[in-house]
Structure 1
Amino acid sequence: MATPARLDHSIVITRRPEDAWALFTRLGFTLSPVSRHRVTTTPDGPPVLGCTANRCAYLDGGFVELIGIIDEAAPDPWRVLPLIAGGDGGLRGVSFGLGDSDRVLDRLRDTGLAGSGVLSLERPVGSGVLRARSVHVDRARTPEGIVHSAEHLTPELVRAVPHANGARALTGVLLFADGSEVDSIRDRYATLLDRESRKVDHGRVFDLDGGRLELVVDLDAALPGETPPSSPGFVAQEVGVADVDAARALVEGAGVPTRDVPGGFLVSARETFGAAVLFRSAG
C-alpha cells in the first residue's frame, strides 16, 4: 500500500514579519492571529518557547505558513535562523502530510533520511492550543531548506477561512534544481514521498494526494522573468483560486505588480520578501 502523501503547507521565513504579513494581506489572504511557537528539541522533551511566531493562510487544501523571527536571542530549537543567514528570508521549506509520525520515522530511518525523532509543536490558537507532531528530514540532505512531515493532532484548529482573493488550496510548491542535481533530488523526494515523478517540459512533477511538488530545471519555462536562486532552492508556492481574473484585479488594485505565466499570474519573489506566489485556477 502506498504511503499517503499530500502537500500540507509551504514555509516562508522572514526577519520582517510585520511587512510580510501586511503584504500577504494585500494579496487577499486572510491570516490567522500572531501565534508564538513552542517546540521540542528531542522526542518527548519539554516544549521550549522559540524565536519565531507565525500567521497562516488556512485553505481547504493545505496552507501557507508565514514565520516571523520575533526574538533572535530566544532559543532556535528547529534551526530556523540558519535558513535565512545573510538575508531577510523567503520561501525556505515545505511540509508534507505523510500519516502517522511513528510510521514516518521508521520509514525515514530505514531509508537514511531521518534527521530527528518524532518532535512536537504547540502554539495558542484562539482559546485552544494547536498541537502537531513532525519528523524532520536530515538537514544535510536538504540544502534547499527545511523539509518535514506534519501530523495534526488538533485538526479542528486548522480550518479553512474565506479569502478575498478566492484562494481555495495550496496546489503546488516549486523547487529549482540545476540540471546536474535534479536526478539526486528527484530520487530523494521519491523516497520521502514513496512515489515516482513524471517528466514535464520544465522538469519533473510529483503528483500527491493533495497538491504537487515540482522540480524545476527550466526556470524561464515555469516562471518567466524570475531570478534563479542558489541551487537547489524553493522558488514559488502555487495557490488555486476560484477566479484568476478577479484575484489578479484585487492584487493589482492593491498596488502589487503581477506577471503573466501559463494558466495564471505570478507575484514575483522581488515583491514578496523572497516568497513568490503563483495564482492559478482551482479548477
Structure 2
Amino acid sequence: MSHDIGRLHHVGHVVSDMGEALTLYRRLGFTVEPPAYPTLARRAGAAPEPFGAANTHADFPHSFVELVTCVQEGGDTRVPGEAKLVPLQAPAELLPQLVERISDTSANVAAWLDRFEGLHILMFSSPDIDAAAARLSEARVVHGGVNTVHRPVETIAGTLMESIRYLEVDGCAPGARPGTVSEGRVGVVSDLAPHVQGSRQTGHLNGAFELVEVMACVAEADLDTTAARYQDYLDRPARPDGPSRFFDLDGARLTLVPESHLATVLPGDHAPALPAFVAYAVAVHDLSATRKLLQDNGVPHHRTGSGDLFVPATSALGAAVIFRAATGTQDQRPQPARAFRR
C-alpha cells in the first residue's frame, strides 16, 4: 500500500545558545554548517540587524536534524562569529507583514524554549503533499494548508533555487498557537529534492547517514488518544511494542512511550514535560567507531534498553541522541566523508 507520507523529513532541536549547540553537535561527530541568521531593517533608514529565528542542519541524504534558536529582541549578543547573515528585503508597503510573519515564527520558538530546551519540531516527508493535505482535511485534521517558500542554495555547480512545500498541523487545545500541537510543531514537507540535498555535506565523522526514529513521551492516560491522533496524521495503525506504540515509516519509525516506561527505554532519562518529543535516533555505519568518537570527545553515553548507544538529554541540551547500528540494507549507502571542521 502506498502512502502520501513516507519517511521522516526532519526533527528540530530548539536551543537557547546556538554557539553552544554547534560545539555540542561537532563533539557528537555531526557536520553542521555555519548557522543562517536573517537580518532585516525593520524601519525605513534603520540598519539591518539579526531578527527572527536562526538555524542550521546536520544533513543526510533523505532527512536532517535542524538546530533552531530565536534572536533576542534588539539583536542577540550570542550570534556565533561563523554565522551567515542573510539579508531580507521587502518593499516598504510589505515590510510590516514580513516583520509580523517572522515575529510569529520567533514567538513560537521562544514559547518552546520557555517550556524546555530540546526537541519541539517533527516534520514528515511526503511524495505528494497535495494528496496528504486533502486526506488530512477529509480526516478532519485541522491544518494551515500547503505553503511554498523558495530559497537559494549554494552548490559547486552554482546557485540553485530550492522550493519547499509544507503544511503545519493545528492543535485543538484552547489557546494553541497556529501551526502547533501539544508536542510542538508537527507537519508534512515535500520530499527533499535529490539534486539539492546531494549538494549538501551529508558525511559525518560519527558515521550517521539517516534519521531513523523520533520518540515522544506521553502520559499513560493519553497514550491511546495520542496514538489515534497520529494514526490520522500518518494514515497508518499504531502497533504495540510492550507498553509503547509505534508507527512504521519508510526506513524509520515514530515511537510513543508512556512516561512510566521512558526510564526503561532510555535509562536515567525523564521527560521535561508531557507530552514531549524526547529523543531521536540516527543510523550509523559502525557503532563501535561511533562509541570511540564519543569517548575520545568526552561525551557521556550509555546503552539503551535495546542495546543502542545514546547520549542522555542532560548532556545534549535537552534532547537524547540515539546512535543505532545500520541494517545490512541500509549500510549499502555511501560511506561518510572524512573532512570535518571543528
The two structures share one fold, judged by TM-score above 0.5: yes
Instruction: Give the distance between the partners of 1:95 and 1:122, measured in 2 at CA.
Output: 18
Q: CA 1:163/1:153 → structure 2, altered by over 3 Å: closer, same or farther?
A: closer
Which structure 2 residues correspond to residues 109-120 of structure 1 after superposition, within 5 A? 109-120=137-148
Instruction: Give the distance between the partners of 1:256 and 1:62, measured in 2 at CA.
Output: 24
Q: Which residue of the other structure, out of 89, 96, 109, is the alignment partner of 2:124?
A: 96
Instruction: Give the distance between the partners of 1:152 and 1:24, measured in 2 at CA.
Output: 25
Instruction: Give the conservation status (yes or no) of the 8 Å contact 1:202–1:216.
Output: yes
Alignment TM-score, normalising by the size of structure 1: 0.88
The amino acid across from 1:216 in the alignment is V
* 2:165 corresponding residue in structure 1: 133
Indicate the SS of the match to 2:227.
helix
Alpha-carbon deviation of 1:263? 2.1
Q: CA 1:81/1:99 → structure 2, altered by over 3 Å: closer, same or farther?
A: farther
> What do residues 69-107 of structure 1 show as CA deviations (whole Å, max 9, x unaligned)?
2354662344333222255x2111211012322222222
Structure 1: 5+ residue runs without aligned partners? 39-48
Structure 2: 5+ residue runs without aligned partners? 40-49, 75-98, 174-180, 328-342
* 1:254 corresponding residue in structure 2: 297
Alpha-carbon deviation of 1:31? 1.3
> What do residues 22-46 of structure 1 show as CA deviations (whole Å, max 9, x unaligned)?
21011001113423479xxxxxxxx
* 1:144 corresponding residue in structure 2: 183
Instruction: Give the distance between the partners of 1:128 and 1:25, measured in 2 at CA.
Output: 27
* 1:162 corresponding residue in structure 2: 203
Indicate the SS of the match to 1:76.
helix
Instruction: Give the conservation status (yes or no) of the 8 Å contact 2:129–2:188.
Output: yes
Alignment TM-score, normalising by the size of structure 2: 0.74
The yes-or-no answer on 1:275 pairing with 2:319 is yes
Instruction: Give the distance between the partners of 1:162 and 1:12, measured in 2 at CA.
Output: 20
> What do residues 137-167 of structure 1 show as CA deviations (whole Å, max 9, x unaligned)?
1134620111010114744222362110000
Aligned length: 272
Instruction: Give the distance between the partners of 1:154 and 1:240, measured in 2 at CA.
Output: 21
Structure number with higher helix proportion: 2
Indicate the SS of the match to 1:9.
strand
The amino acid across from 1:117 in the alignment is G
Q: CA 1:277/1:256 → structure 2, altered by over 3 Å: closer, same or farther?
A: same
Identity of aligned residues (%): 34
Instruction: Give the distance between the partners of 2:280 and 2:193, measured in 1 at CA.
Output: 25
Indicate the SS of the match to 2:317.
coil
The amino acid across from 2:242 in the alignment is D
The amino acid across from 1:3 in the alignment is H
> What do residues 91-136 of structure 1 show as CA deviations (whole Å, max 9, x unaligned)?
1121101232222222222222232121233444323343211110
The amino acid across from 2:296 in the alignment is G
* 1:82 corresponding residue in structure 2: 111
Instruction: Give the conservation status (yes or no) of the 8 Å contact 1:7–1:62.
Output: yes
Alpha-carbon deviation of 1:51? 1.1
Greater shift in the superposed pair: 65-74 or 50-59: 65-74
Q: Which residue of the other structure, out of 192, 206, 228, is the alignment partner of 2:271?
A: 228
Task: Please tell me the root mean square deviation across aligned C-alpha atoms, in Å.
Answer: 2.2
Indicate the SS of the match to 1:135.
strand
The amino acid across from 2:103 in the alignment is D
Q: CA 1:183/1:165 → structure 2, altered by over 3 Å: closer, same or farther?
A: same
Q: Which residue of the other structure, out of 173, 177, 180, is the alignment partner of 2:214?
A: 173
Alpha-carbon deviation of 1:68? 2.3
Indicate the SS of the match to 2:220.
coil
Instruction: Give the distance between the partners of 2:29 and 2:241, measured in 1 at CA.
Output: 30
Instruction: Give the conservation status (yes or no) of the 8 Å contact 1:52–1:71.
Output: no
Alpha-carbon deviation of 1:50? 6.4
